[in-house]
């Protein structure tokens, strides 16, 4: 089986822009780091009461991409496009006429941009005539806008996919990208996910919660250059992460939480088996839900992780606790955090980690990763 590796990352998170801000956010805290609350200001003026917003602060797409071609980009696409550009740069993968047909894109999403879709409908409903909508906003209503815009910006003509999966969308995209690489549809895949913070996503998150605690709404985008180990080696690109296995699925009858736990449990064991590892080989587990398992999933994920890793000493990173609910971007942040930790700490070289995810409807997924820093003797 072709070995697949990550050779570069671009991450925009509530911690800031770039991997260093991500590492700084995580390091210096023992256990679960605390989230940094940011005023989302104009992003979300009609948000739910008592909600806390973790936005990518001061993000202005024009600072990264200039004015040309950015006027009609919605926030979701802008975040994704910038993350993809940073991943290419971090990897050192130069796009040119010799390779652009072989570089693909796979991005995860929930709705595309729910705000763009809803605002377009609103425009039609309120206009003097229902067709007097802004034509340049129409493409923003389609699910694959971010992936298409990323391809346009960097001239990526390979296979281009958008995978809708909510919280497991990045794992879905990772699985899709792995297939595309192994089947020879592409040599490199920009693989990521994005979720914008808007009143629409804030209310969607808020409305699906059952407990009284304030809703913590996040946003983020992250993208990774994934290619075969052989291709990365041939071009002397750094191997940051090896993706040993990834699998996603859906659990019918998901109104019974124990069923979803059992499905995720089986999925984690499956990806470990495929990676030829046992639970004891794993150093770190990154979950998507908040620590304490008190969020809308009622501990489904924690239960599965406890069942697999119960007696072993694993470090736990709960992405929901650090950034708030980032929906489709959650999985991309999990990988971003793992990569940032490896890059910052040579002592983590060669360590194995597992990332897991579930959606409230019964989607589940897991992946096994292994990482290294970019300096030091312990190269893969």
Partner 1 sequence: MQHVVITGLGPVSSIGIGIAAFSEALAGGRSGISPITSFDSSGFPHIHAGEVRNFRPETILRHLDPSAAGRSTLFAAAAARLAVEDAMLDLEALPSDEVGVVIGTTSGEPTIVEGMTAQLLAHGFGSVPGEMFRQSTADRLSHGVSEELGISGASITLGNACTASNAALGYAYDRLRNGDATVMVAGGADSVCRLMHAGFHRLGALAKDECSPFDLRRSGLLTAEGGSVLVLETLAHARARGAKPYAEVLGYAANCDAANIVSPDVASIARCMRTAHRNTSVTPSEIDYICAHGTGTRTNDLVEVRAIRDVFGDDMPPISSIKSMLGHTMGAASGFGAIASALAIANGILPPTINFTSSDPALGSIDPVANVSRRARVRIAQNNGFAFGGNNTILILGACV
* Residue 324 lies near partner 1 (rule: CB under 8 A): no
* Residue 252 lies near partner 1 (rule: CB under 8 A): yes
Question: What's the min distance (Å) between Cβ of 82 and partner 1?
Answer: 17
Query: Judged by CB, which is closer to partner 1: 155, or 292?
Result: 155
Question: What's the min distance (Å) between Cβ of 262 and partner 1?
Answer: 10
CA dihedral 58, 164, 93, 66 (to 10 degrees): -30
Among 2, 41, 62, 130, binds partner 1 (CB under 8 A): 130
Query: Judged by CB, which is closer to partner 1: 154, or 372?
Result: 154
Token pair, residue 11, equals 């991450």
**Helix, coil or strand: residue 31:** coil
Asked if 249 and 263 touch (Cβ cutoff 8 Å), the reply is: yes
Cβ neighbours for 107, distance < 8 A, ≥ 6 positions apart: 80, 146, 147, 150, 161, 162, 163, 173, 190, 191, 192, 193, 194, 223
* Residue 360 lies near partner 1 (rule: CB under 8 A): yes
Residues 156-195 that bind partner 1 (CB under 8 A): 156-166, 169, 172, 175-176, 179, 182-183, 185
Of 320, 216, 229, residue with least CA distance to 6: 229
Q: How far is residue 77's CA from residue 100's CA, in Å, rounded to a whole number? A: 21
Site mask, partner 1, residues 280-319, x = CB under 8 A?
A: ----------------------------------------
Question: What's the min distance (Å) between Cβ of 334 and partner 1?
Answer: 18
Stretch that binds partner 1, among 33-41, 58-66, 132-140, 345-353 (CB under 8 A): 132-140
Question: What's the min distance (Å) between Cβ of 377 and partner 1?
Answer: 36
Query: Judged by CB, which is closer to partner 1: 17, or 186?
Result: 186
Residues 58-117 that bind partner 1 (CB under 8 A): 100-101, 104-105, 109-112, 114, 117
Stretch that binds partner 1, among 4-12, 18-26, 81-89, 359-367 (CB under 8 A): 359-367
* Residue 118 lies near partner 1 (rule: CB under 8 A): yes
* Residue 138 lies near partner 1 (rule: CB under 8 A): yes
Q: Residue 16, by phi and psi: left (phi above 0), alpha (psi -120 to 50) or beta? A: left
Asked if 360 and 205 touch (Cβ cutoff 8 Å), the reply is: no
Would you call 29 exposed, middle or buried from its count of C-beta atoms within 10 A (0-12, 13-18, 19+)?
Answer: exposed
* Residue 249 lies near partner 1 (rule: CB under 8 A): yes
Percent helix, strand and coil across the chain, each rounded to 5?
A: 40, 20, 35
């Amino acid at each position: 089986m072709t070995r697949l590796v990550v050779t570069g990352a671009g991450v925009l998170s509530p911690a800031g822009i770039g991997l260093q801000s991500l590492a700084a956010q995580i390091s210096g805290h023992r256990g679960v780091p605390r989230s940094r609350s940011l005023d989302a200001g104009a992003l979300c003026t009609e948000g739910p009461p008592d909600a806390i917003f973790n936005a990518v602060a001061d993000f202005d797409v024009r600072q990264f991409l200039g004015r040309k071609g950015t006027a009609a980009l919605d926030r979701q696409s802008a975040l994704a496009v910038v993350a993809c550009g940073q991943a290419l740069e971090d990897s050192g993968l130069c796009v040119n006429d010799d390779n652009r047909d072989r570089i693909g894109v796979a991005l995860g999403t929930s709705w595309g941009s729910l705000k763009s879709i809803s605002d377009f409908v609103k425009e039609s409903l309120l206009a003097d005539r229902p067709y007097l909508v802004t034509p340049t906003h129409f493409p923003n209503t389609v699910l694959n806008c971010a992936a298409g815009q990323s391809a346009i910006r960097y001239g990526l003509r390979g296979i281009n996919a958008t995978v809708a999966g909510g919280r497991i969308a990045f794992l879905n995209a990772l699985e899709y990208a792995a297939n595309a690489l192994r089947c020879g549809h592409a040599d490199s895949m920009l693989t990521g996910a994005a979720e914008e913070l808007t009143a629409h996503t804030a209310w969607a998150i808020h409305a699906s919660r059952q407990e009284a605690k304030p809703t913590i709404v996040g946003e983020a985008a992250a993208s990774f250059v994934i290619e075969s180990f052989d291709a990365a080696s041939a071009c002397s690109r750094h191997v940051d992460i090896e993706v040993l296995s990834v699998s996603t699925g859906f659990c019918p009858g998901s109104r019974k939480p124990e069923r979803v736990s059992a499905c995720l449990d089986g999925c984690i064991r499956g990806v470990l088996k495929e990676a030829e590892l046992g639970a004891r080989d794993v150093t770190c587990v990154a979950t998507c839900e908040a620590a304490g398992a008190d969020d809308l999933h009622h501990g489904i994920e924690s239960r599965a992780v406890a069942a697999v890793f119960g007696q072993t000493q694993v470090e736990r990173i709960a992405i929901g606790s650090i950034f708030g609910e980032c929906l489709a971007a959650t999985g991309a942040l999990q990988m971003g955090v793992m990569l940032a930790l490896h890059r910052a700490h040579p002592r983590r070289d060669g360590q194995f980690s597992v990332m897991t995810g579930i959606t409230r409807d019964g989607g589940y997924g897991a992946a096994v990763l292994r990482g290294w820093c970019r300096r030091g003797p312990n190269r893969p």
